[in-house]
Chains A and B, each alone.
Chain A
Amino acid sequence: EPEVTQTPSHQVTQMGQEVILRCVPISNHLYFYWYRQILGQKVEFLVSFYNNEISEKSEIFDDQFSVERPDGSNFTLKIRSTKLEDSAMYFCASSETGIFGYTFGSGTRLTVV
């Protein structure tokens, strides 16, 4: 079964450092997403991406965050200057239609120290 692949599975970074989280969505999917889950809390939407541009973003997704699809397969989330409160599990997801069929990756656990 097709999968969404995320790397790395774990990342530890110093506060103030830049991190890039990587995702390879399912190949025929057109809609891409990033969500985050702070430990013990619910999953929160960050951003959606369609047709090579951001289609929607939440209030969490401020100027410290950016997304990119640098080639035909990868989808990245960059956090420019990490804060302690950015520590969370970050999930990438993709969908062919943007209506249903959302497939999530296994997540990247980011720890900011």
Chain B
Amino acid sequence: AQKITQTQPGMFVQEKEAVTLDCTYDTSDPSYGLFWYKQPSSGEMIFLIYQGSYDQQNATEGRYSLNFQKARKSANLVISASQLGDSAMYFCAMREETSGSRLTFGEGTQLTVNP
């Protein structure tokens, strides 16, 4: 079974609108962390946001927020007020307590922001 599932290979959004990128995960560990990274066409991996499994509140970082639904095992990324520079590949990743400190990544979602 996939540890991280991103079901949207591609998403389109109009500039200035909000967009939600889906991520579901599979773990039986009580302690884990969830991450979102942005990869523009230049290739680098840029950290966006982190959510710990015991965090009571949803993480937010500027225009990024993480909609964490623990019972559903989902950790969707919400980008508000999309900008043209948000066009990139977005990866969801997880660190499980029993897997040491490695990150396991999903397949990614290619986001295109249209003017």
Contacts and interface: CB of A to CB of B under 8 A. Distances in A.
A binds B: yes
A55 B100 contact: yes
B100 A42 contact: no
Contacts of B91: 42-43
Which of under 10, 10 to 19, 20 to 34, or 35 or more describes the interface residues of B? 20 to 34
Which of under 10, 10 to 19, 20 to 34, or 35 or more describes the interface residues of A? 20 to 34
Contacts, number: 64
A107 B52 contact: no
Interface in A44-93: 44-45, 48, 50, 55-56, 58, 89, 91, 93
Interface stretch (B15-23, B42-50, B60-68, B69-77): B42-50
B44 A31 contact: no
B35 A102 contact: yes
Contact of B105 (A42, A56, A58, A103): A42
B100 A43 contact: no
Interface of B: 33, 35, 37, 42-47, 50, 52, 91, 93, 95, 99-108
Interface of A: 31, 33, 35, 41-45, 48, 50, 55-56, 58, 89, 91, 93, 95, 98-107, 109
